Amino acid sequence: MTPVEYTPENKVLVDAFEALLPEQQLKDYWGHDDVEPVRAQIKDHYIAEQQYVCVYCNRQIVTANKALWDAEHIISRAKAARFMFTPENLAISCRDCNIAKGEQDVRTSQPQKFPDTSAHYRIAHPHFDKYADHIRWFGDICAPISEKGAQTLIVCNLTRFTAKLLGVEGKLVDPGFDKQVGELIKAKTKLEAKAALAAVTVYVEDIPQV
Query: Residues interacting with Zn ion, by CB under 5 A?
Result: 54, 56-57, 94, 97
Report the nearest approach of Zn ion to the CB of residue 135 (Å): 12
Q: Which CB atom, from 97 or from 143, has the smaller least distance to Zn ion? A: 97
Q: What sign has the CA pseudo-torsion 55, 59, 62, 64? A: negative
Instruction: Give the single-character DSSP code of 32.
Output: -
- 58 phi-psi bin (left φ>0, alpha ψ -120 to 50, beta other): left
| C-alpha–C-alpha distance, residues 41 and 201, integer Å | 47
Q: Which is nearer to Zn ion, 143 or 184 (CB)?
A: 143
Shorter beta-carbon distance to Zn ion: residue 52 or 128: 52
With respect to Zn ion, which residue has the nearer C-beta, 35 or 135? 135
Sequence-separated (6 or more) residues with CB below 8 Å from residue 174: none
Nearer to Zn ion, 53 or 75 (CB): 53
Beta bridge partners of 93: 70
What CA–CA distance (Å, rounded) separates 33 from 45?
Answer: 19
The least CB distance from residue 41 to Zn ion, in Å, is: 22
Q: Torsion over CA of 198, 203, 208 and 210, rounded to 10 degrees?
A: -100
Least separation in angstroms between residue 89's CB and Zn ion is 17
Least Å distance, CB 95 to Zn ion, is: 8
Minimum Å gap between C-beta 140 and Zn ion is 13
Min dist CB 21 to Zn ion, Å, is 35
Among the listed residues 142, 127, 134, the one whose alpha carbon sits nearest the alpha carbon of residue 91: 127
Nearer to Zn ion, 35 or 155 (CB): 155
Residue 51 backbone zone (phi > 0: left; psi -120 to 50: alpha; other: beta): left
